[in-house]
Amino acid sequence: MPRTEFTPSITTRPVYPGLSPVPGAAALMLADASGAEALIELALQDAALIAAAHVIYIPEGAPFGAALAALHPKHYHEGPSFSAILPRFRKALLDAHMGTRLYLAGSETLIGLAMAEALAAGLPVDAIQSDHRGSIARRMQCVHCKGITEGVTTDPFTCSHCGLTLFVRDHYSRRLAAFQGVCVDAETPGIVPELQEIKP
């Protein structure tokens, strides 16, 4: 799956320049189905980096597990979802020292959630690299009720918590790993712009 090219936006909108090997004390890697190939490409650039890495993979039914395991990372672990791998990911961050580099690949939600965990654990933002591949569905926070709606692909969309019709902003919270959704018809109740597919 190729890297997603996003159109330029405001500065808070995250960008995902891709992965390139950095020599360091240790490497932690996390990918979902759409990001697995990014880790395989990284291994082609630097086999030694993968050999010393802790790789965590969320296959979501995709067939890349065998190929990743065949790269012989120091630790290899698969789990069915982000919440399933979270205890292991947190433990890896807890045991990590300065010099550890984190490589994230896959959907925006996976990258965002993993990055928020890593930052909360004290990993410097400059020690994190990311490669966006696959779905551009967004994790949205309703700024009114604060509820999170996952997998949003249209603009506007309906908040799954309070039911307001929300406009999809590029304003992003690194702490919440979510974009901000703002009521689109607050001043003209019921008058809602035409539904559009979200574009990269």
| Local structure of 60: helix, strand or coil | coil
The amino acid occupying position 71 is L
Note whether 116 binds another protein by CB under 8 A: no
Given the rule CB under 8 A, which of 23-31, 36-44, 135-143, 153-161 is the region that contacts another protein?
23-31
Contacts 24+ apart (CB under 8 A), 79-84: 82/32, 82/58, 82/109, 82/110, 82/113, 82/114, 84/58
Q: Does 23 bind another protein (CB under 8 A)?
A: yes
Q: Which is nearer to another protein, 22 or 86 (CB)?
A: 22
Q: Which of 24, 80, 163, 193 binds another protein (CB under 8 A)?
A: 24
CB of 178 to another protein, least distance (A): 22
Residue 126 interacts with another protein (CB under 8 A)?
Answer: yes
Residue 198 binds to another protein (criterion: CB under 8 A): no
Interface of this chain with another protein, residues 63 to 102, rule: CB under 8 A: 93, 96-101
Residue 55 or residue 123: which is nearer to another protein going by CB?
123
Q: How far is the CB of 117 from another protein (least distance, A)?
A: 12
- When asked if residue 51 is in the footprint of another protein (CB under 8 A), the reply is no
Is the sign of the CA dihedral 187, 191, 162, 180 positive or negative?
negative
Q: Which residue has the tokens 């949205």?
A: 140
Count of chain residues binding another protein (CB under 8 A): 19
Q: How far is the CB of 84 from another protein (least distance, A)?
A: 23
CB atoms within 10 A of CB 128: 17
**Distance between CA atoms of residues 145 and 105, nearest Å:** 30
- 127 or 145: CB nearest another protein: 127
Of the pair 87, 124, the CB lying nearest another protein is at 124
Q: Are 176 and 116 in contact (CB under 8 A)?
A: yes
Binding flag, residue 195, another protein (CB under 8 A) = no
Residue 179, CA atoms < 13 Å, CB-side half-sphere: 29
Q: Give Cα separations from 36 to 15, 33, 130, 198 (angstroms).
A: 19, 6, 12, 24
Record the tokens describing residue 148, joined without a space: 């999170």
| Chain positions contacting another protein, by CB under 8 A | 22-26, 93, 96-101, 121-127
